[in-house]
Structure formats: structure tokens, C-alpha cells
Amino acid sequence: MTPAAGAAGATGVPPACAPLVLRGRVVGADGAGAAAGGPPPTRPVVMAIVNRTTDSFYAGARQYDDGAAMDAVGRAQAEGAAIVDIGGVRAGTGPEVTVAEEIRRVVPFVERVRAEHPDLLVSVDTWRAEVAREAALAGADLVNDTWAGHDPRLVEVAGELGVGVVCSHTGGAVPRTDPYRVAYPARDGVVDDVVATLRAAARRAVACGVPAESVLVDPTHDFGKNTWHSLHLVRRTAALADLGFPLLMALSRKDFVGETLALPPDERLEGTLAATAVAAWLGARVFRAHDVAATRRVLDMVAAVRGDAPPAAAVRGLV
């Protein structure tokens, strides 16, 4: 368990959450540390978004065509993503997508990514156990359950097949619905609810056979929350890092960023990166992102400021 939420050591740097391990691999590990005989240092991880949809809220993430989707995967890996998160259904309201159609969109693509990008970790964004099972059998390493265990069998599938799982918080919202007049008691009520929900879900995942280091917890900004709630969760990232599990932040171009700055999805990059920098400073390790290169650079800069990673080059004043 990490030190108390928000506590900082003598350096004033907040403690980071636990590192993520998938199929025995420490995600974001720097091999140099391992070669020296000590624990490998880790840096924050980018999880790139690839949506096999025609209606995702951000047009830049719609890669329904196989060729465009594979190009997006290759570009994400080249720009520094360690994980690619593949989804087949828009998170918000929209036309029905059956289980069979979601499998058709996602599973063959997972198999192809696994074959063509063997070093890239593959996540599947689904709340359905049937899709999770087929994706894991096709080679997925992680199941991103963004709807907070709506299908209780999903985490059982993850444990059975030896893949990681994302435990999320939606405040009781059901799949593909938008929040309406969401309320939590007191100022920290949303944090208390998120912490309690994620702790219980993570413990169940471990009980189902998922290793604790392969259980990501995600406060799930925007889902079952208004903009004030999502901003407060960014502010209180340290409390989430203190849960003792790897911490995922899915902030990219979300409505809380757009409402804060009064901007549409295609103009939310700077706001996303600002929230990303705050969350990374406060100890989050995995960031789900549309804009891989920009996110990677921000995370590398924050890691250097925190002292978690060295600069790429440090010659000023030395030569």
C-alpha cells in the first residue's frame, strides 16, 4: 500500500500508484533498471484509443475501416503507446449494437493486431462477458470494463483466462446512458463513492483470480458524474492512487474538459493535457488517450520533474 493519500516524501513529490503488470510484464518498465539488478523503474503509460465505430463522440477516433484502424495502431505504437484499447460500441447513446456485431467488429481485429504488433499490449473496451471471452481467446491482454461490472460475469472471464481487468465507477449508471442530475453528498462525496466502489470491485477481481497488479482502477470521469465531480476527481487523484492498485485516467477530450473551457471535442487537446499533467504529478500511471504523441511528451516531462525518469539528454552546462 502506498503512503496516505496526498502525502509527499522529503522531496515534496506525491507517491505514485502501483505499477501495472500484464501477463508477467511490468508495463512501462525501463530495462536498464532490471539490468542493474534492482526493480525496474517505470514511467507513465499511454493507452491509445482505437474505436471500431462510426459514431464515437470524437470524429478523430472513428476507425471503422480495417485499414484505417491498423494504421492507427501502428501510428500509436510508433508514438509511444504501450497499450492499444480497441472498442466496438460508442459509450454514449446511439443505435443498438448487438453482441454478435460487437464481436464481429472487435475480435478479428484483436487477432490481427496481436499477430502484426506482438510487442503491443491489447485491451478491449467492453462491458459484455461474451465479447471479453472471445477477445481474450483472440489474444487480448486486458479487458476495459467501462460500465462498472454491469455484467458480473466479465471479471470472472478475466480471472479464468488470465487477463487483466479495468474496474470502473459509473455511479450506478447503466451502459450507454448519459448522466442526469447526478448528486453525491458533500464536497468529497464523489471521491468517497469512487474509492469505495473501486476498492470493492478490485477486491472482487482478485477473488476471481486476477492478480492484484493486473487490476486497473478507473474513476471514469464523465460517467455518472457532472463536470464539477470530474474536476474534483482530478484534484483528488492522490486519494485514488492510494488504493494500492494501478490507476487509469481516461481524460481524453471528455465533456468535463469541454464544459470547463467551452470547447467542442476537436479543440480539447490542451485542456486534456493540463488535466493529464496534474493527474500524473499526483501519481496516476496509465492514461487512455486519443493523442498519443502529445500525451507521451507530457507524461515524460512530468516523470522527469517528479524524478521518476531522467531527461532524454542533459548536456546544458556540462559540455
Query: Quick one: CA dihedral 111, 51, 210, 292, positive or negative?
Result: positive
| Rg, C-alpha atoms of the chain | 19
- Exactly one of 254, 285, 296, 306 is catalytic; name it: 254
- Exactly one of 52, 62, 288, 296 is catalytic; name it: 288
Distance, in Å, from the CA atom of 225 to the CA atom of 308, rounded to the nearest integer, reads 32
| 254 in active site | yes
| 23 in active site | no
Scan for cell 467501462, then name that residue: 146
Distance, in Å, from the CA atom of 154 to the CA atom of 39, rounded to the nearest integer, reads 32
- Let me know how long the chain is: 319
Distance, in Å, from the CA atom of 224 to the CA atom of 89, rounded to the nearest integer, reads 18
Distance, in Å, from the CA atom of 217 to the CA atom of 194, rounded to the nearest integer, reads 10
- Beta 286-289 vs 248-250: how paired, if at all? parallel
Element (H, E) at 67: helix 66-78
Mention every residue, 6+ apart, whose C-beta is less than 8 A from residue 252: 49, 58, 272, 287, 288, 289, 290, 291, 295
Q: Is residue 65 within 8 Å of 73, Cβ to Cβ?
A: no
Bin 317: left if φ > 0, else alpha if -120 < ψ < 50, else beta.
left
Distance, in Å, from the CA atom of 174 to the CA atom of 221, rounded to the nearest integer, reads 15
Q: Is residue 163 within 8 Å of 140, Cβ to Cβ?
A: yes
> What are 198's three cell numbers?
473501486
Q: Would you please indicate which residues are annotated as catalytic (active-site) residues? A: 254, 288
